[in-house]
Amino acid sequence: MQMQQVHYFLALCEELNFTRAGRRCGVSQPTLTNAIIALEQELGGALFDRKPTIALTRLGRVVRPYLDEIARNADHAREVARTLTPRPDGYRSTRQAADKFERPSN
Protein backbone atom coordinates (compact mmCIF):
# COMPACT_ATOMS: atom_id res chain seq x y z
CA MET A 1 0.00 0.00 0.00
CA GLN A 2 1.34 3.40 -0.96
CA MET A 3 0.59 6.68 0.81
CA GLN A 4 -0.47 8.13 -2.52
CA GLN A 5 -3.20 5.48 -2.77
CA VAL A 6 -4.36 6.33 0.75
CA HIS A 7 -4.60 10.04 -0.11
CA TYR A 8 -6.46 9.28 -3.34
CA PHE A 9 -8.88 7.01 -1.48
CA LEU A 10 -9.61 9.68 1.15
CA ALA A 11 -10.10 12.38 -1.50
CA LEU A 12 -12.51 10.11 -3.38
CA CYS A 13 -14.38 9.41 -0.13
CA GLU A 14 -14.98 13.14 0.25
CA GLU A 15 -15.63 14.03 -3.38
CA LEU A 16 -17.49 10.86 -4.47
CA ASN A 17 -16.43 11.77 -8.00
CA PHE A 18 -13.31 10.44 -9.73
CA THR A 19 -12.72 13.56 -11.84
CA ARG A 20 -13.05 15.98 -8.92
CA ALA A 21 -10.94 13.76 -6.64
CA GLY A 22 -8.26 13.56 -9.33
CA ARG A 23 -8.29 17.32 -9.75
CA ARG A 24 -8.06 17.78 -5.99
CA CYS A 25 -5.04 15.44 -5.86
CA GLY A 26 -3.42 17.03 -8.91
CA VAL A 27 -3.65 13.89 -11.05
CA SER A 28 -5.74 12.78 -14.00
CA GLN A 29 -8.89 10.75 -13.49
CA PRO A 30 -7.30 7.62 -15.05
CA THR A 31 -4.30 7.90 -12.71
CA LEU A 32 -6.58 8.12 -9.69
CA THR A 33 -8.76 5.28 -10.97
CA ASN A 34 -5.76 3.00 -11.51
CA ALA A 35 -4.45 3.74 -8.01
CA ILE A 36 -7.86 2.95 -6.47
CA ILE A 37 -8.09 -0.29 -8.47
CA ALA A 38 -4.61 -1.30 -7.25
CA LEU A 39 -5.61 -0.52 -3.65
CA GLU A 40 -8.81 -2.56 -4.06
CA GLN A 41 -6.80 -5.48 -5.41
CA GLU A 42 -4.41 -5.28 -2.48
CA LEU A 43 -7.26 -5.16 0.04
CA GLY A 44 -9.18 -7.91 -1.71
CA GLY A 45 -12.42 -6.17 -2.61
CA ALA A 46 -14.18 -3.15 -4.04
CA LEU A 47 -13.99 0.02 -1.96
CA PHE A 48 -16.56 1.91 -4.02
CA ASP A 49 -19.78 1.01 -5.79
CA ARG A 50 -19.47 2.54 -9.24
CA LYS A 51 -23.04 3.11 -10.28
CA PRO A 52 -24.50 6.35 -11.60
CA THR A 53 -23.34 7.77 -8.27
CA ILE A 54 -20.28 6.62 -6.36
CA ALA A 55 -20.71 5.25 -2.85
CA LEU A 56 -18.48 3.45 -0.40
CA THR A 57 -18.95 -0.29 -0.14
CA ARG A 58 -19.05 -2.00 3.23
CA LEU A 59 -15.32 -2.69 2.88
CA GLY A 60 -14.71 0.97 2.04
CA ARG A 61 -16.65 2.13 5.09
CA VAL A 62 -14.76 -0.29 7.34
CA VAL A 63 -11.25 0.58 6.13
CA ARG A 64 -11.79 4.35 5.84
CA PRO A 65 -11.06 5.15 9.51
CA TYR A 66 -7.90 3.04 9.39
CA LEU A 67 -6.66 4.73 6.22
CA ASP A 68 -7.56 8.13 7.66
CA GLU A 69 -5.50 7.30 10.74
CA ILE A 70 -2.59 6.18 8.56
CA ALA A 71 -2.69 9.53 6.73
CA ARG A 72 -2.85 11.51 9.99
CA ASN A 73 0.03 9.51 11.48
CA ALA A 74 2.14 10.02 8.35
CA ASP A 75 1.48 13.77 8.49
CA HIS A 76 2.42 13.81 12.17
CA ALA A 77 5.61 11.83 11.50
CA ARG A 78 6.61 14.37 8.83
CA GLU A 79 6.01 17.23 11.27
CA VAL A 80 8.11 15.55 13.97
CA ALA A 81 10.87 14.78 11.47
CA ARG A 82 10.95 18.42 10.35
CA THR A 83 11.45 19.58 13.92
CA LEU A 84 14.21 17.05 14.61
CA THR A 85 16.09 17.14 11.32
CA PRO A 86 18.85 19.74 11.07
CA ARG A 87 18.60 21.99 8.05
CA PRO A 88 21.52 22.25 5.60
CA ASP A 89 23.52 25.47 5.81
CA GLY A 90 21.78 28.28 4.00
CA TYR A 91 18.42 26.52 4.00
CA ARG A 92 15.49 28.46 5.31
CA SER A 93 11.94 27.37 5.67
CA THR A 94 9.23 29.38 3.96
CA ARG A 95 8.29 30.83 7.35
CA GLN A 96 11.89 31.89 8.05
CA ALA A 97 12.18 33.50 4.63
CA ALA A 98 8.84 35.28 5.04
CA ASP A 99 9.89 36.62 8.46
CA LYS A 100 12.80 38.44 6.79
CA PHE A 101 10.39 40.69 4.93
CA GLU A 102 8.67 43.58 6.62
CA ARG A 103 4.94 43.48 6.56
CA PRO A 104 3.32 46.63 5.17
CA SER A 105 1.52 48.71 7.77
CA ASN A 106 -2.04 49.79 7.08
Contact 32, 8 (CB under 8 A): yes
pTM: 0.76
Give the Cα separation of 7 and 25 in Å (integer): 8
Could you list the beta-strand ranges (E) of 1-106: 48-50, 54-56
pLDDT in tens, the chain (106 residues): 999 999 999 999 999 999 999 999 999 999 999 999 999 999 999 999 998 899 999 999 999 999 999 999 998 998 888 888 877 766 655 555 555 555 555 4
- Look at residues 45, 75, 74, 42 and name the one whose alpha carbon lies nearest to residue 61: 45
Handedness of CA 72, 16, 43, 30 (dihedral sign): negative
Domains of the chain in start order, with CATH, are 3-87 (1.10.10.10)
